[in-house]
Amino acid sequence: MDRIRAVRPLLNERPVPPGVHHDVQHPIPVVVTLRWETGDEEVETIALEWWTTRAGSVVRVRVADQRIPTGAVWLPVEDVRPTPNAARPARVEHSTTMVWWQRQ
């Protein structure tokens, strides 16, 4: 019951894009901004998947936080940036683009 009480809405979470989803083989270390009612938090984590849709670019990131019971969330590209020393991927692992990475 404590876990259920811990769940809080994440203000910048985006809906899951339509389609089949898989983690990339080589997740990318990133820093994300999580936007809560109580304020913003910067968190180091990994990017598991990225998509560009008509609605914009989104990135699925792992989040180990009691307030997020799923363990991962989709965030807008503007709230995800590679860690300073992250190795750039050699190739895109999905049919979608990594526009979010080039913008950093």
* Structure confidence by residue, pLDDT tens digits, 71-100: 999 999 999 998 877 665 555 444 344 444
Host domain of residue 43: 2-102
Q: 79 near 12, Cβ under 8 Å?
A: yes
Domain count, the chain: 1
Phi then psi for residue 77, to 5 deg, are: -55, -30
Q: How far apart are CA 40 and CA 46, in angstroms?
A: 18
pLDDT digits (tens, 9 = 90+) for 11-42: 999 999 888 888 888 888 999 999 999 999 99
**pLDDT bracket for residue 2 (50, 70, 90):** low
Helical ranges in the chain per DSSP H: 2-6, 99-102
